[in-house]
A and B are shown apart, each in its own frame.
Chain A
């Protein structure tokens, strides 16, 4: 039963346009796990070059962020899921509970970063363009104006202490847009079961430190130049049909 829930989460990684999930796990352990029928997750490819988001986000950061940080979340997530399967199989309830924080952290990291890559695009491919259509009108309706929305996101992101994410989410039940923050790698659903993430901005230090050092507000101001709204509009339209 738990495995079926895990398998459906893989579709989240496959959503959106132009992402090919290549199998990067070449280790024998992962191959063995796969042969046992356990679903393993893999690092999604970026639909743009590491340097394509310059000067808003440097190539060095993009490469480290994708190849080191996101990859380690994926690897550890798979490891935790394998350990979970073992613990469930041998009826070890304390071990199952103990693994939850690792699953939440690494799984959340994989989910959040997968959404994040889809939220970014080079300027010549539409990055930085405010949304049009129903999502654009909804932002004006729920926040007053585009500027007010951006300012709210930046204020919440700057005020967040430690590591976390700032989100534009859709409350499915009330069909309202909300700005929320989550700590560490908690996915947006931890703030409300009805919340669907549309845009997420990583405010962990690794997301900006090499370029902006401790000037987090500068990072938040500049990242809007490469925020892409195609994925967010698709999700919004699907939920609000």
Chain B
């Protein structure tokens, strides 16, 4: 999900994970970058560049007007999410054990089965926001089609019922959190799930399809305290059913949703 790890301190730090004969071998190599140099111990050579990056939404920041203003996106993406990314990178700089994970894995590992490590908040919020921007599109809303619509009707009764449930979950979530449409892996059905703060259904091994940010910062600049208007705007004008369809197609590779058609002999 848009992560990259570049840990240049591995190249220069003398005491970390390198044995003595490694140093000897390095010196005999012809590769200049790996040879011991006079400034071997300099701080500059061991500076970490970055672990994770701030991924841009798949549309321009003013593309979701008038339902989500450019000003709000600039703050939400440019300041909040950037803050989470930078906070996460700073925390990972101090922690060797968590180095090298993809963002998905990092979220699950730092969730620590319900007893989250300090890095969880930043990691999960980066993941959640990437997922959120991708769940929306300019000219979104409307209805899903074909197989996705059938699955929604199967699990919720009707599309209207699903929409009502989703909106009701968003309005009844106390405090900060997220509302999700997930495909539950074990139950093999779609469900609407609310989570608080930064929690994410992937920690329970479920497959999220839609996410909606109901932290106040997600709507306050445009809608003030009117969360209902924001959620309705999301459902009617922003949610990208194309992306949800793509996600559920991928999910079907992991979860068998159909009944096997075993012919009666």
Interface residues of A, Cβ cutoff 8 Å to B: 64, 68-69, 72, 101, 105, 161-164, 183-185, 204-206, 209-210, 213-214
Given A162-B175, A209-B216, check contact A214 B121 (CB 8 Å). no
In whole angstroms, how far apart are the Cα atoms of A213 and B217 in the complex? 8
Within 8 Å CB of A205, what residues of B?
A: 176, 215-217, 220
A72, A161, A184: which contacts B174 (Cβ < 8 A)? Answer: A184
In whole angstroms, how far apart are the Cα atoms of A164 and B196 in the complex? 12
Within 8 Å CB of A101, what residues of B?
A: 174
Least CB separation from B120: chain A residue: A161
Contact B174 A105 (CB under 8 A): yes
Contact A161 B80 (CB under 8 A): no
Contact B225 A209 (CB under 8 A): no
Contact A161 B225 (CB under 8 A): no
Please tell me if B56 contacts chain A, counting CB pairs below 8 Å. Answer: no
Given A209-B217, A214-B217, check contact A162 B176 (CB 8 Å). yes
Interface residues of B, Cβ cutoff 8 Å to A: 75, 79-80, 83, 121, 174-177, 196-198, 215-217, 220-221, 224-225
Known contacts A64-B224, A204-B216, A214-B80; can you find 17 more A-B pairs with CB under 8 A?
Answer: A64-B225, A69-B225, A161-B198, A162-B175, A162-B198, A163-B175, A163-B176, A163-B216, A184-B174, A205-B220, A206-B220, A206-B225, A209-B220, A209-B221, A213-B79, A214-B75, A214-B83
A68, A72, A161, A210: which contacts B197 (Cβ < 8 A)? Answer: A161
Contact A213 B197 (CB under 8 A): no
Least CB separation from A105: chain B residue: B174
Contact B175 A183 (CB under 8 A): yes
A211 to chain B: closest CB distance in Å? Answer: 11
Contact B197 A162 (CB under 8 A): yes
Within 8 Å CB of B198, what residues of A?
A: 161-162
Contact A214 B79 (CB under 8 A): yes
